Homo-oligomer: A and B are copies of this chain.
Amino acid sequence: MASDMFEFCSNMTEEQDARARALIERAAAKWPLRILHVLSDAGAPLRFSRLLERVEGISQKVLTQTLRTLENDGLVIRTLYPQVPPRVEYELTPLGRDLLMQVAALWRWIVERLENFDARKAVKLTAAAV
Cβ of A50 within 8 Å of any chain B Cβ, yes or no, is no
11 A/B residue pairs, CB under 8 Å, sorted by A: A2-B40, A2-B43, A5-B101, A6-B41, A8-B112, A9-B111, A25-B28, A25-B29, A75-B122, A93-B126, A95-B121
Say whether, besides A21-B33, A23-B110, A5 and B100 are in contact (CB < 8 Å).
Answer: yes
Known: A2-B40, A28-B28, A95-B116. 4 other contacts (CB 8 A): A5-B101, A24-B103, A71-B119, A99-B110
Option from B74, B101, B106, B126 in Cβ contact (under 8 Å) with A119:
B74
- A58 to chain B: closest CB distance in Å? 14
Contact with B along A96-118 (1 / 0, CB 8 A): 00011111111111111110111
Interface residues of A (CB under 8 A from B): 1-2, 5-6, 8-9, 12, 16, 19-21, 23-25, 27-30, 33, 37, 40-43, 71-75, 77, 93-95, 99-114, 116-123, 125-126
The docked-state distance in angstroms from the alpha carbon of A69 to that of B101 is 27
The docked-state distance in angstroms from the alpha carbon of A103 to that of B105 is 10
